[in-house]
Structure 1
Amino acid sequence: MKIFLNGYMGAGKSLIGHKLSAVLNYNYVDLDDQIELIEQTDIQSIFKKRGELYFRNLENKVLRDILEKKEDMVVSLGGGTPCYGNNLDWIQRTAGTKTVYLKATVNTLRDRLFLEKVHRPVISHLQTKPELEEFLRKHLFERAYYYNQSDIIVNVDNRNPEQIARDIVEKL
Structure 2
Amino acid sequence: MAPKITTDSGALSVEMGAEAVAIGDGTATSGSVDLTVKDNGKVAIAKGNATACSGATGDGAYADAGTFGAADGADLLFTWTRTSSGESDGAALSSSTTRLLAIDLPIDFRGGPKVREVYSESAASPDQLAELDIHGSSAVAASDSDAAGAATHAEAYTDATALVGYAEISAYANVIVG
Please indicate, yes or no, whether the TM-score normalized by the shorter chain is above 0.5.
no
What TM-score, normalized by structure 2, do the two folds share? 0.24
Look at both structures and tell me which one has the larger radius of gyration over its CA atoms: 2
What TM-score, normalized by structure 1, do the two folds share? 0.24
Relative to total residues, which structure has the larger strand share, 1 or 2? Answer: 2
